[in-house]
Amino acid sequence: MTSSFPPDPGHDLPVVVIAGRPNVGKSTIFNRLVGRRQALVADTPGVTRDRKESETTVRGRRIRLIDTAGLEEAAPDTLFGRMRASSESAVAMADLVLFCVDARAGITPADEHFAAWLRRQGRPVLVLANKAEGRQGAAAAMEAFSLGLGAPLGISAEHGEGLADLMGEIADRIPAGPLHPRRAPRRVESEDEDGDVRPPGPLRLAIVGRPNAGKSTLLNRLLGEERMITGPEPGLTRDSVSVMLHDDEGPIQLVDTAGLRRKARIDETLEKMSVSASIEALKMAEVVILALDATLGVHEQDLQIARLIEREGRCCVLALNKWDAVEDRNVTRQAIRDRIEMSLSQMRGIPVVAFSALTGAGVNKLLPTVRRAYEVWNRRVPTGELNRWFEMMVSRHPPPLVQGRRLKLRYITQAKSRPPTFILFGTRTEQMPEDYQRYLVNGLREAFDLPGTPIRLLLRGSQ
Ligand code: GDP
Ligand code: GDP
């Protein structure tokens, strides 16, 4: 069976492989994604399936989906050995591995061995915690975080829960375009690396801010031509919704420029619209430029938008526009930064760029800053380094007593990036006071150089 895996000539679709222990629901997931009851699903582990591969469409993208269930022909005597033998050749050519575990049964030693082996294969992995239906499901799915392969997605293949999310995740993670050369397995440096994947394609950038901050002028400046909004001519609004820019490092897609233009035309309602419009832009963007009119300082509405950026976990660059009209530049820059950092602890160290969209002075610093912020947002901290830091932090300030008992903190791991998300395992961690959490988050930001990016700290622990 494995001999059918080398790709047929001309068969160059992205390959998505479903792997995991017998009976976790691989075939059920396969059927859900293929949309027909094509594979035989049975309650007995290891039942041979007659169909393990199918082409299917996920969010408009054709993929080749392979179910490794029932491929246990080599049959070494350990369960992990069988899992590995059955999926090795499929995983080697995978553009994405869906590693399935059973959320109800919990993580087993075979899952852990398989996860460690998968990490060494260097293929992108998404952990699916299946059988996570109902209210208990989400919590049960979280346990799969401990596999160190990024944030698990809880689904219930049988009940059809979480399938839309699953399709979105797959579409985000497979290579763009139908044709791509089959790659040799990527070597990973260390086991600390996990399978977190950057969606391929351009960096997605949005410009948000209050009306008259100069967003349209900036957009024109970045595009290097006066073909946008500031004029009143009708028809300008019919341009495409997003525009492509190119800098030294590649393409940058400016999203929601249509929203920008639309708003620029109806001035009276702008104040009310700018916050809700920002939400739309945020959803589509990875990096957000928050544009301020520096002559006006920070307005409550700017903070509201900044809060949204933080809440959505986006990476933010603060743009101080109209710098040509600012008199005392040092004082202004410091006052604006202080106001933002004081109101929003997660914006500490936020990158700030001052320029004049009108004259163009200083605008050239903007995209390099966007790129650097994006790198921070994508950064991964190796688990070893993280735990050495963690021990130091805990010995410097032991966690407080809660109801007379000390919290036990065991270890910390980075579950994902974009934004950097850490999980802390221990006992009664859910009772950790906020100021101790802040101590850890601020410490993470400083120790691992994560300025201005939202950091998520998730707490997992038994009672
Ligand atoms: P495979 O061996 O990994 O391919 O697993 P199957 O797809 O054959 O599923 C094994 C068993 O788990 C079957 O009895 C399925 O009906 C059941 N199953 C699959 N998905 C779910 C789910 O989301 N929830 C529950 N409760 N059971 C499921
Ligand atoms: P938007 O509502 O955020 O899209 O703002 P616009 O780009 O339409 O700009 C609002 C006003 O600010 C216009 O009159 C612009 O000419 C002016 N403006 C934009 N950028 C600058 C700048 O860098 N310096 C100065 N002095 N004025 C600017």
- CB of 25 within 6 A of ligand 1: the answer is yes
Instruction: Give the phi and the psi of residue 185 in degrees, each rounded to 5.
Output: -55, 135
214 known member of a binding site: yes
- CB of 429 within 6 A of ligand 2: the answer is no
- pLDDT tens for the chain, 463 residues long, are 333 444 443 357 889 999 998 899 999 999 899 875 444 444 444 444 444 788 888 888 888 898 887 555 445 566 666 666 667 778 888 899 999 999 999 999 989 999 998 988 888 999 999 999 877 777 778 888 889 898 889 999 999 888 888 988 898 888 765 433 333 333 333 222 333 444 457 898 999 888 889 988 898 888 874 444 443 333 333 333 567 788 888 888 887 665 554 444 444 344 455 566 667 677 778 999 999 999 999 998 899 889 888 888 899 999 999 999 999 999 999 999 999 999 988 888 899 999 999 999 999 999 999 999 999 999 988 888 899 999 999 999 999 888 888 888 988 988 888 889 898 888 888 889 999 999 999 999 999 999 889 999 988 876 4
Query: What's the 144 CA to ligand 1 centre distance in angstroms?
Result: 17
Give yes or no for a contact between 146 and 425, defined as CB atoms under 8 angstroms apart: yes
Name the helix (H) or strand (E) containing 183.
none
* Gap between the Cα atoms of 18 and 127, Å rounded: 10
Query: What's the 84 CA to ligand 2 centre distance in angstroms?
Result: 60
Ligand in nearest proximity to the CA of 26: 1
Query: What's the 290 CA to ligand 2 centre distance in angstroms?
Result: 14
Q: Whose CA is nearest to atom 6 of ligand 1?
A: 25
Asked whether the whole model's pTM tops 0.80, one would answer no
Tokens representing residue 373 in the block: 């912020």
List, in sequence order, every residue forming a beta bridge with 289; answer none if it has no partner. 207, 317
26 known member of a binding site: yes
* Gap between the Cα atoms of 31 and 59, Å rounded: 16
Testing ligand 1's pocket by substitution, the residue of 17, 18, 21, 23 carrying the most ligand atoms inside 8 A of its CB is 23
